[in-house]
Amino acid sequence: MLFHTHPTSGIPLYLQLIEQVKHAVETGALREGDRLPTIRKVSEDLVMNPNTVVRAYRELEQAGVIEVRHGSGAYVKESGGRARVIQKAQSIVQSALERLEALDITEDEIRRVFENELAQIQMQKRTP
């Protein structure tokens, strides 16, 4: 199964489903033109109300991630290259992580370094 939810996480199920579809598109697990599972299939597999799936699909359609073709199903829309950009970014991050691991840096140290660099970028954007 492509999607999994965590009912006890405190995050609404429809939001979990939305994020998982977006992630699948960004990582290439779902590509332009791919058909998403039917509302019935998702609701049965994830043991959730079909209306929850309808809400998630509706919001994904409004966000331009999918296209719902009545009577045919829901399909991944062309992302305008965004998925390719995300895939390139993941490749860059993976390479950087491999190099950092070679330096014997822990995951926590990597997180701190990364978060510090992000904070520095944000500070630079704020100061003219």
pLDDT tens-digit profile of 29-48?
888 899 999 999 999 999 99
Question: Is 82 a residue whose pLDDT tops 70?
Answer: no
Cα 83 off chain centre by: 10
Listed range (16-20, 69-73, 82-86, 105-109) with the worst mean pLDDT: 82-86
47 Cβ contact partners less than 8 Å away, ≥ 6 residues apart: none
Alpha-carbon distance of 80 to 25, in angstroms, equals 12
**In whole angstroms, what is the distance from residue 8 CA to residue 41 CA?**
21
Query: Where do the H-state alpha helices sit in the chain?
Result: 13-27, 39-45, 50-62, 82-102, 107-126
The whole-angstrom separation of Cα 25 and Cα 79 is 8
pTM as predicted: 0.64
**Opening angle at CA 18, ends 14 and 24, nearest 5:** 140
Residue 52 structure tokens: 């929850």
Average pLDDT over residues 50-77: 93
Q: Which residue has the higher pLDDT, 128 or 67?
A: 67
pLDDT of residue 7: 86
Whether pLDDT at 118 is above 70: yes
Q: Are the CB atoms for 37 and 2 separated by under 8 Å?
A: yes
Residue 86's pLDDT is what?
72
| pLDDT given at position 88 | 79
